[in-house]
Structure 1
Amino acid sequence: MTTEDVLLVSDSTDTPGVRTLTLNRPKAYNSLTVELKERLLAALRDAAADDSVRAVVLTGTGKAFCAGQDLKEHVGLLQANDPAPLHTVAEHYNPIVGLITGMPKPVIAAVNGAAAGAGAAFAYASDIRIAASSANFLMAFANVGLGPDSGASWTLQRLIGYGRAVELMLLARKVEADEALSLGLVSEVVPDEELTARAQAVAAKLAAGPTVAYAKIKEVLAVAAESTLGEALAAEDAAQGALGATADHAEAVDAFVTKRRPTFQGK
């Protein structure tokens, strides 16, 4: 994979199938410029389409995971009467979140530090969130006279409930890693120096699993989140019917009968 200044894209040399996307503007706390958003969009599309990629890790460099929108660029463009900032939700944030949630393979957010605004929302949209002990989350949209974007209105309340979500958004209160764990906002908290290894280990486990089944699990959960029981049952039935015909299911059944560990191909 190629390496860009603002976004590092790498495939694991130790574990086939793991692709890591690293936001790389540490001096600006990995805040999101137009360039970084466009490169992230392209990298997510590539990961989704590449069958050799079976798990994705999203992380940042330096002291922050992602501080959200780069406000210096945002203000500069507005002062120059450039309409681009007014369209970034539709052109960048919504598609990024759609790609993360719709990724037909697991996405792990390795939250290495501060995650704010859209940056926090990218973590919320991921399937699994592992936080460093120095990580924290902040929904500060109200402080700049804005409402939530990047899907945070949908994802955050599903993770921690409406009451907690509205409190964090109205008060713009920072949530440290330990509280995030107690709220169910993250899956686990590890020492800073162990974050990369832990996220890669989780990704490696998932990359060796039944990728098509993972995609269907994400799909039926998304349906169930906003459907009737009958609709959820129908989605589950359709998914099971499709998965029953996969090579991975056949391999799992044979492995069970022959009392061995299955070897999944993601097909």
Structure 2
Amino acid sequence: MAEIAASPSPELPSTGCVRVRAAEPGVVEVELHRPERLNAMSVEMVDDLHALWAALAVRHDLRVVVLTGAGRGFCAGLDLRDYGEAGPAETVQARFALQERIAGLVTGMRDLPQVVIAAVHGAAAGGGLALALGADVRVAGPAARFAVSFVRIGLSGADIGVSWLLPRLVGASAAFELLLTGRAVDVAEAQRIGLVGSVSDDPRARALDIAREVLGNSPMGVRMTKQVMWSQLEVASLRAGLDLENRTQIMTTFTRDHTEAVEAFVRRRPPRFEDR
């Protein structure tokens, strides 16, 4: 296992809706914590997650985030009851601002320097599915179920980035069916269509196994890989993709960690990365 030097940093915000704990050196577990509501997203949870993303953005000592849920579910989507109690947004401007606030959780995950692994052990529906899709890696347990859900409450099935993310993960044909019907997908089908990468009886443990593998690579190499992979989903041609890769690859050759990784490989010893 590679080693990385870490400097002291302030604690991450942990709240009643979002519990944060250090899982292992370099790895933090983020638990959505409203088990009585299957971790449905309340106004407070959305705000707490935005605050957490902002705090994680400057934490270069933390390299992997494991996102999971408390109790039986991962996240049942937006808590319509809570948002109703908060008062209806009566103007187009107010409703649009609220929509952008919720959708910004997904772009916030994409922009994090950390690799985000979603450990899904129960229902991931609506906004919960969007969070899972916004992660870089998805691991599922035997009881995991995935559903778009928006169309079943009288809304468009295209919401919170799902209509962009889902076709890129499972293909347009499968995505159209799931978006239009809102039907649930069990873990076997989710793995078959490529919605999840791996299935485990203990998805949190499997997520930590993947995290350890990620930690075996250089910090900047991992960050650049995440950035380039997400950007590649948006570029329009092979040439544009190659241009992006070429510039990023040459940039990483100038890092000390690249030199250290090569030397460690030649000497057959674990590398010690410094993120320099």
Q: Is the shorter-chain TM-score for this pair beyond 0.5, marking a shared fold?
A: yes
> Does the 8 Å contact 2:89/2:95 carry over to 1?
no
The yes-or-no answer on 1:247 pairing with 2:224 is no
**Take 2:192 and 2:249, find their aligned partners in 1: how far apart are those partners?**
34
The yes-or-no answer on 1:69 pairing with 2:78 is yes
> Does the 8 Å contact 1:108/1:126 carry over to 2?
yes
> Does the 8 Å contact 2:19/2:33 carry over to 1?
yes
**Take 1:5 and 1:214, find their aligned partners in 2: how far apart are those partners?**
31
- Match among 194, 208, 230 for residue 200 of structure 1: 208
**Take 2:61 and 2:172, find their aligned partners in 1: how far apart are those partners?**
38
The yes-or-no answer on 1:91 pairing with 2:90 is no
The yes-or-no answer on 1:7 pairing with 2:18 is yes
Paired residues in the alignment total 262
**Take 2:166 and 2:33, find their aligned partners in 1: how far apart are those partners?**
25
The yes-or-no answer on 1:232 pairing with 2:241 is yes
The yes-or-no answer on 1:186 pairing with 2:186 is no
> Does the 8 Å contact 1:25/1:31 carry over to 2?
yes
> Does the 8 Å contact 1:208/1:264 carry over to 2?
no
Assess, with a 3 A threshold, how the Cα gap between structure 1 residues 11 and 208 changes in structure 2: closer, same or farther.
farther
> Does the 8 Å contact 1:209/1:266 carry over to 2?
no
- Match among 19, 22, 40 for residue 49 of structure 2: 40
**Take 2:33 and 2:231, find their aligned partners in 1: how far apart are those partners?**
34
> Does the 8 Å contact 2:60/2:113 carry over to 1?
no
Range 32-41 or range 207-216, more displaced: 207-216
Amino acid corresponding to residue 118 of structure 1 in structure 2:
G
Q: Deviations over 1:26-61 (max 9, x none)?
A: 001111111100101111221121111111111000
The yes-or-no answer on 1:166 pairing with 2:187 is no
Assess, with a 3 A threshold, how the Cα gap between structure 1 residues 68 and 85 changes in structure 2: closer, same or farther.
farther
Residue aligning to 2:159:
149
Q: Deviations over 1:248-267 (max 9, x none)?
A: 21111111222323233344
The yes-or-no answer on 1:257 pairing with 2:266 is yes
Q: Deviations over 1:120-145 (max 9, x none)?
A: 11111111100011110001111112
Q: TM-score, normalised by structure 2?
A: 0.89
**Take 1:106 and 1:215, find their aligned partners in 2: how far apart are those partners?**
8
Deviation at 1:112, TM superposition (A): 1.7
**Where do 5+ consecutive residues of structure 2 fail to align?**
1-10
Q: TM-score, normalised by structure 1?
A: 0.92
Amino acid corresponding to residue 247 of structure 2 in structure 1:
A
- Match among 108, 111, 114 for residue 120 of structure 2: 111
CA RMSD of aligned residues (A): 1.8
**Take 1:197 and 1:116, find their aligned partners in 2: how far apart are those partners?**
22
Q: Deviations over 1:67-114 (max 9, x none)?
A: 111010233345585885543221232x21112122222110001210
**Where do 5+ consecutive residues of structure 1 fail to align?**
none
**Take 2:83 and 2:264, find their aligned partners in 1: how far apart are those partners?**
55
**Take 2:214 and 2:170, find their aligned partners in 1: how far apart are those partners?**
24
**Take 2:89 and 2:168, find their aligned partners in 1: how far apart are those partners?**
39
Amino acid corresponding to residue 3 of structure 1 in structure 2:
S
Higher relative contact order (CA 8 A, sep 6+): 2
Deviation at 1:180, TM superposition (A): 0.5
